[in-house]
């Protein structure tokens, strides 16, 4: 039995799994197995040849991961997803699935520090050039494009600037050129559905809001199914030329009978097969638990964050509050266009007194945890210049919006009075 609904609250509880077919278990079971008994040799051979889809080996697929993949696919309005070991693995594979040595992608400068490093150094070492552009003008993506550009990449609600990305504007530049937009939607699940605005692929660090309880590292790649990979075949050679690693399959053709899933199937049966960054079934189970209350939690994060922004705005030790709900002009329009139901739980502020005041504030916090994480149900704080963004050069830090006096908060779902009381006492000591 399946439940049809357009509402995220219902989808998050029911999509992808109703009851276990053999036991009737309502909670998604943890299928802690490496491999799966084939019915006979023909069945085994059909699975390997992708004539039918089914379980082969847990590095490539697993029923617990499958329930998570189906549930997030339903929430995003896509066609299929792939669970991987971390958000970093999701970003890397989303690009490696299209770009090969000698190719390039164009990315927003406004990125998580780890993604920046992946792009500026590791992908570069692999021969994939990442061209960083300022996202405030979408035309910058067009200007940086050449015949070997394979994808555009950005984050929906990038911290620390918290200025929402112009999704439709950049997707519209890419589509006629055969270039897909890959959106990292980690900071804005439920609030934004990037496929509704033309994005072709979504990546998540499920470690954050989807998990929500700070227990597990994981990532997801979601395929919209709406991108025509063979519209300009020479633009996407990885999907339109024979793949020697899968007996010459041309991915845009090979899986057509199974649906518009060429991109995500290729990622699963070649990259995940070869690189092996699979999500464990136990972690998938944890993410499913998180997902079931995600719409409720996002609402609570958003409500608390607005109140914290209002409180900090009026505080005499605060120079400036950075929050998606406090943007002006074009940035305000983007916040209101792309985020629905709130402005997210992330918020930053510039503290008067610079680095020393920032450190004193963080050291004085009692309720907030001082951790390198976002999106937990608990409230979190960090000083990016000395932690998450410390491996960037001074210029790179400025380009990504990190200053010495910037403090980042990830507002949790505790009672708002307790959150504000902790900020109040810590600011008094800063
Ligand atoms: N994308 C964003 C926006 C992030 O904030 C992070 C981690 O902080 C990642 C990706 C990487 O995710 P993970 O830590 O799960 O590898």
pLDDT band at 115 (very low <50, low <70, confident <90, very high): very high
Residue nearest to atom 15 of ligand 1 (CA): 87
| pLDDT 10s digits, 241-253 | 999 999 999 999 9
Closest by CA to 345, choosing from 159, 135, 109, is 159
| pLDDT 10s digits, 216-231 | 999 999 999 999 999 9
What confidence score (pLDDT) does residue 389 get?
Answer: 75
pLDDT band at 239 (very low <50, low <70, confident <90, very high): very high
Any ligand 1 atom below 6 A from CB of 207: yes
What confidence score (pLDDT) does residue 385 get?
Answer: 78
What confidence score (pLDDT) does residue 1 get?
Answer: 44
Counting every residue written for the chain, the total comes to 430
Any ligand 1 atom below 6 A from CB of 87: yes
pLDDT band at 395 (very low <50, low <70, confident <90, very high): confident
Separation of 87 CA from ligand 1 center, angstroms?
A: 5
Separation of 289 CA from ligand 1 center, angstroms?
A: 19
Q: Give the torsion through C-alpha atoms of 338, 191, 302, 347, to 10 deg.
A: -60
Q: Please report the atom of ligand 1 found closest to the CA of residue 218.
A: 15
Average pLDDT over residues 334-362: 94
Percent of residues, the chain, with pLDDT higher than 70: 99
Separation of 220 CA from ligand 1 center, angstroms?
A: 11
- φ, ψ for residue 4 (rounded to 5)? -95, 125
State the sign of the Cα–Cα–Cα–Cα dihedral 92, 96, 100, 106: negative
Average pLDDT over residues 106-118: 93
Separation of 22 CA from ligand 1 center, angstroms?
A: 36
Integer CA distances (angstroms), 416 to 163, 250, 421, 423, in order: 24, 54, 8, 11
Separation of 88 CA from ligand 1 center, angstroms?
A: 6
Q: Which residues pair with 208 in a beta bridge?
A: none
Q: Please report the atom of ligand 1 found closest to the CA of residue 217.
A: 15
Q: Could you tell me the pTM of the whole model? A: 0.97
Separation of 186 CA from ligand 1 center, angstroms?
A: 7
The pLDDT of residue 7 is above 90: yes
State the sign of the Cα–Cα–Cα–Cα dihedral 301, 381, 94, 133: positive
Closest by CA to 267, choosing from 227, 230, 234, 239, is 239
The pLDDT of residue 208 is above 50: yes
Q: Write the burial class of residue 345 (CB in 10 Å: 0-12 exposed, 13-18 middle, 19+ buried).
A: buried
Any ligand 1 atom below 6 A from CB of 205: yes
Separation of 231 CA from ligand 1 center, angstroms?
A: 32
Separation of 138 CA from ligand 1 center, angstroms?
A: 24
Separation of 402 CA from ligand 1 center, angstroms?
A: 17
Any ligand 1 atom below 6 A from CB of 184: yes
The count of other CB atoms within 10 Å of the CB of residue 341 is 14
Average pLDDT over residues 185-201: 98
The pLDDT of residue 400 is above 70: no
pLDDT band at 2 (very low <50, low <70, confident <90, very high): low
Any ligand 1 atom below 6 A from CB of 324: no
Any ligand 1 atom below 6 A from CB of 185: no
Q: Please report the atom of ligand 1 found closest to the CA of residue 88.
A: 16
Residue nearest to atom 8 of ligand 1 (CA): 373
Residue 118 DSSP code: I
Average pLDDT over residues 393-402: 77
Q: Please report the atom of ligand 1 found closest to the CA of residue 388.
A: 8
Q: Write the burial class of residue 244 (CB in 10 Å: 0-12 exposed, 13-18 middle, 19+ buried).
A: exposed
pLDDT band at 396 (very low <50, low <70, confident <90, very high): confident
Q: Edge-to-edge strand order for the sheet containing 406-410? A: 318-322, 346-351, 406-410, 380-382, 369-370
Average pLDDT over residues 47-76: 95
pLDDT band at 26 (very low <50, low <70, confident <90, very high): very high
From 107, 114, 214, give the residue whose CB has the most ligand 1 atoms within 8 Å, as the site to mutate.
114
Separation of 112 CA from ligand 1 center, angstroms?
A: 7
What confidence score (pLDDT) does residue 401 get?
Answer: 76
The pLDDT of residue 355 is above 90: no
What confidence score (pLDDT) does residue 132 get?
Answer: 97
pLDDT band at 386 (very low <50, low <70, confident <90, very high): confident
Any ligand 1 atom below 6 A from CB of 186: yes
Any ligand 1 atom below 6 A from CB of 114: yes
pLDDT band at 402 (very low <50, low <70, confident <90, very high): confident
CA distance 360 to 407: 11
Q: Write the burial class of residue 39 (CB in 10 Å: 0-12 exposed, 13-18 middle, 19+ buried).
A: exposed
Mean pLDDT of the chain: 95
Average pLDDT over residues 109-120: 93
CA distance 93 to 221: 8
């Amino acid at each position: 039995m399946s439940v049809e609904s357009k509402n995220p609250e219902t989808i998050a509880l029911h999509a992808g799994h109703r009851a276990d077919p053999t036991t009737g278990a309502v909670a998604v079971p943890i299928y802690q197995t490496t491999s799966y008994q084939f019915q006979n040799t023909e069945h085994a051979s059909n699975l390997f040849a992708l004539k039918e889809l089914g379980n082969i080996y847990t590095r490539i697929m697993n029923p617990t991961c499958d329930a998570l993949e189906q549930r997030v696919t339903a929430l995003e309005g896509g066609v299929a997803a792939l669970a991987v070991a971390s958000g970093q693995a999701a970003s890397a594979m989303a690009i490696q699935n299209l770009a090969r040595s000698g190719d390039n992608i164009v990315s927003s400068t406004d990125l998580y520090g780890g993604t920046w490093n992946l792009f500026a150094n590791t992908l570069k070492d692999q021969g994939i050039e990442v061209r960083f552009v300022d996202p405030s003008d979408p035309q910058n993506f067009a200007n940086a494009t050449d015949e070997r550009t394979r994808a555009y990449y950005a984050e929906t609600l990038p911290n620390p600037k918290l200025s929402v990305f112009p999704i439709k504007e950049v997707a519209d530049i890419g589509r006629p050129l055969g270039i897909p937009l890959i959106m990292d939607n980690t900071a804005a699940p439920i609030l934004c559905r990037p496929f509704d605005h033309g994005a072709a692929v979504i990546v998540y660090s499920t470690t954050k809001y989807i998990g929500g309880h700070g227990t597990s590292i994981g990532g997801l790649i979601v395929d919209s199914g709406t991108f025509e990979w063979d519209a300009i075949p020479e633009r996407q050679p990885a999907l339109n030329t024979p793949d020697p690693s899968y007996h010459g399959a041309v991915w845009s053709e090979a899986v057509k009978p199974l649906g518009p899933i060429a991109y995500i199937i290729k990622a699963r049966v070649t990259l995940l097969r070869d690189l092996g960054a699979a999500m464990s079934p136990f972690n998938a189970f944890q993410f499913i638990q998180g997902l079931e209350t995600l719409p409720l939690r996002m609402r609570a994060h958003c409500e608390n964050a607005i109140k914290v922004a209002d409180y900090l705005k009026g505080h005499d030790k605060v120079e400036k509050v950075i929050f998606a709900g406090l943007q002006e002009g074009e940035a305000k329009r983007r916040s209101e266009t792309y985020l629905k139901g709130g402005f997210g739980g992330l918020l930053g502020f510039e503290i008067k007194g610079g680095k020393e005041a920032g450190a004193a504030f963080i050291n004085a916090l009692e309720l907030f945890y001082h951790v390198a994480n976002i999106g937990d149900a608990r409230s979190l704080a960090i000083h990016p210049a000395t932690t998450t963004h410390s491996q960037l050069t001074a210029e790179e830090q400025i380009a990504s919006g990190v200053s010495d006096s910037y403090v980042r908060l990830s507002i949790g779902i505790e009672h708002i009075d307790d959150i504000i009381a902790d900020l109040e006492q810590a600011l008094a000591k800063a």
